[in-house]
Amino acid sequence: MKESLLHKLTILAESAKYDVSCSSSGTTRSNKAGAIGNTSGWGICHSFTEDGRCVSLLKILLTNFCLFDCAYCVNRRSNDIERVAFTPRELAELTIEFYRRNYIEGLFLSSGVIKSPDHTMEKMLRVVKDLRTLYHFNGYIHMKTIPGASQELVHQAGLYADRLSVNLEIPLEQDLKLLAPEKDHQSVYKPMHYIQQGMVQNLEDRRKFRSAPRFAPAGQSTQIIVGAAKDNDKDILHLSSALYQRQSMKRVYYSGYIPVNTYDKRLPVVKDPCLKRENRLYQADWLMRFYQFNANEILDDKNPYLDLDMDPKLAWAIRHPERFPVDVNTADYATILRIPGVGVKSAKMIIMARKHGRLNLDGLKKIGVVLKRAQYFITNNELSHYTIHEATPEYVKSVLRDTPLLPSPAQQQLSFGFTE
């Protein structure tokens, strides 16, 4: 590799590492004659460098030149850093050479904004178009959409990329105006809307013509920065919930704020990224997407932040003892899903298993129910009557939090043979 190209690669790969929304492909496409690569339905296999970065995708910026001066961004216009840019042909060749050497399985392409959103999109579009048409690359491509880009360019990008995404970045408009005065939410929602329109139109086209080219088959995603402004978890979850109402939105990613511009007084002073808060938000997001919770149930005005010492599902159950205990032999699927210690797979297996007889403790353990948690929230003929009502919510909270304040229930009250 030429030294100049390696230099660009070093700088632009480093600049791209703060974007977290590239974790899976979400689409399936087999290899075909005359083409290179494929994508897998369960997502691209990952490996990680020492700093936790995914390296199975070539995660890269086209350039770190940028018109904008966002307070939280390492590539902001006012930062005194070395600026470089790939040409579209250079980046396409680099991607295909890395793929041939088995370094990567796909491309995650983002960019700073140069001259204008449309000018930047045209250059990014040239990269993915060359990969698909010139090099016949059939692997996964995730392409960022530049806020403010035209509908035509977004549409063309969707014909070549598997997934498109637009970063929302700051949850509340007033905070975005403070930290990134040149941006607004409207410029983000517009391309999101264009992507959604493209996907809906593509569904119609493919119903009529099976040979119609697919448009962004892996849908769209977005990323929210957590902890850079005064927003709380309730604000973030309500925003995510609204985004998931859009048919095309597949994932909302949460990125704990990393202080890269500590000199900017508009930003909070933090020593470490708020990774635990980020993790709790992902758990709450999971509850909304797979456990039939809505954002209002997880957090409200009285409880605007997620408890960092316990997962959101357990916290909800402790706040709502009136919903328990649940009889696992008679309750419906939606009710069983709400029991702490019962996952989606376990809930489905409970429904299936009880068609063949009543479930006992051994059966629940074999299904995968975490009885250490679930014991306070379920009834079963074999369990002593020591539910959350007898134990009290305060006691259950103290023994099931991540750092228990009291001895385990098995040591103090019960002896069911549950292991830690």
Looking at 43-57, 117-131, 183-197, which range is the least confident one? 43-57
pLDDT at 12 exceeding the cut of 60: yes
Mean pLDDT of 198-204: 93
| Relative orientation angle of helices 312-319 and 393-400, to the nearest 10 degrees | 160
What are φ and ψ of residue 90, in 5° steps?
-60, -45
Give the pLDDT confidence score for residue 312 in this predicted structure. 96
Kindly indicate the confidence band of residue 193, based on its pLDDT and cuts at 50, 70 and 90.
Answer: very high
Q: Which residue has the higher pLDDT, 282 or 401?
A: 282
- The rounded distance, in Å, linking the Cα atoms of 74 and 81 is 9
Give the pLDDT confidence score for residue 29 in this predicted structure. 65
Query: Which of these, 175, 111, 169, lies nearest to 143 by C-alpha position?
Result: 111
Give the pLDDT confidence score for residue 331 in this predicted structure. 94
Kindly indicate the confidence band of residue 133, based on its pLDDT and cuts at 50, 70 and 90.
Answer: very high
Which of 195-219 are b and which e, b meaning 16 or more Cβ less than 10 Å from the residue's Cβ? bbbbbeebeeeeeeeeeeebbbbbb
End-to-end, the C-alpha distance of the chain in Å comes to: 53
Mean pLDDT of 279-305: 94
Query: Which of these, 323, 322, 321, 318, lies nearest to 334 by C-alpha position?
Result: 323
Give the pLDDT confidence score for residue 387 in this predicted structure. 87
- List domains and CATH numbers for the chain: 3-24+41-298 (3.20.20.70), 312-400 (no CATH)
Give the pLDDT confidence score for residue 224 in this predicted structure. 93
pLDDT at 298 exceeding the cut of 70: yes
Mean pLDDT of 298-313: 92
Please answer whether residues 236 and 171 qualify as being in contact, where contact means their C-beta atoms are separated by less than 8 angstroms. yes
Q: Which residue has the higher pLDDT, 274 or 84?
A: 84
pLDDT digits (tens, 9 = 90+) for 238-263: 999 999 998 789 899 998 888 888 88
pLDDT digits (tens, 9 = 90+) for 141-174: 999 999 999 999 999 999 999 999 999 999 999 9
Give the pLDDT confidence score for residue 275 in this predicted structure. 85
Kindly indicate the confidence band of residue 360, based on its pLDDT and cuts at 50, 70 and 90.
Answer: confident
